[in-house]
Amino acid sequence: MSETPNPNIIDADTLTGEMRPIRRVVVGLGSNLGERLSNLQGAVDALADTPDVWITGLSPVYESEPVDCPPDSPKFLNAVVLIDTTLAANRLLDRALAIEDAYDRDRSDGLNAPRTLDVDLIVVGDRRSDTETLRLPHPHAHERAFVLQPWLDLEPDAQIPGVGAVKELLDKIGTDGLTRRDDLVLESDE
């Protein structure tokens, strides 16, 4: 039997024409240049100030040995932020890059050169993307303890869509080079 739409039922999308789904997003933050903790806190504040973005989780801060960086690179501070947003993934990426730019992020110094601030989109809901400007899930997340450990602290059952359980991925690679810094704390009003 075919279903006849009930004209008395109007969904929210039809009413406003603007409702967009809420996406759960995992954002990775890193800094190994300048005032590392205040750079990370600045990124948290900027995300919190972004319209249509709500912070739902802030991880502990970790200090980490540089991975795949030029010799003698300084150690990083890393953390993960969970957000809910109605922004499309590309708009959120624009925002992430603008936040990096606000911290004088210098992109001219070559691969993985020290940086004041790195804001990476790790996963955006179950969105997959493989363009140069936006790769989702982040192609290196599964091999980076400095992403997986703080994410696991917030979500013990976390999964990288299409890749696997964060806990299992972390068990595979281990946490060498990663130190939890409970003396350094990120804050959010939300």
Ligand X SMILES: Nc1ncnc2c1ncn2[C@@H]1O[C@H](COP(=O)(O)OP(=O)(O)OP(=O)(O)O)[C@@H](O)[C@H]1O
Ligand Y SMILES: Nc1nc2c(c(=O)[nH]1)N=C(CO)CN2
> By the criterion CB under 6 A, which residues form the site for ligand Y?
30, 64-69, 76, 78, 112, 118, 146
Q: Of 50 and 64, which CB lies nearer to ligand Y in the complex structure? A: 64
List residues binding ligand X (CB under 6 A). Answer: 93, 96, 107, 112, 118, 120-121, 133-136, 138, 140
Alpha-helix residue ranges (DSSP H) falling in 26-109: 36-48, 89-102
* Half-sphere exposure at residue 169, Cβ-oriented, CA atoms within 13 angstroms: 23
Which two three-digit tokens encode residue 63?
């200090």
Which two three-digit tokens encode residue 69?
């960086």
Q: Which does 121 bind (CB under 5 to 8 A by kind): ligand Y, ligand X, none?
A: ligand X
Q: Of 65 and 84, which CB lies nearer to ligand Y in the complex structure? A: 65
Contacts for 10 with CB less than 8 Å, ≥ 6 apart: none
In the chain, the amino acid numbered 109 is D
Q: Of 124 and 141, which CB lies nearer to ligand Y in the complex structure? A: 141
Length of the chain: 190
Q: Which does 83 bind (CB under 5 to 8 A by kind): ligand Y, ligand X, none?
A: none
Q: Which does 95 bind (CB under 5 to 8 A by kind): ligand X, ligand Y, none?
A: none
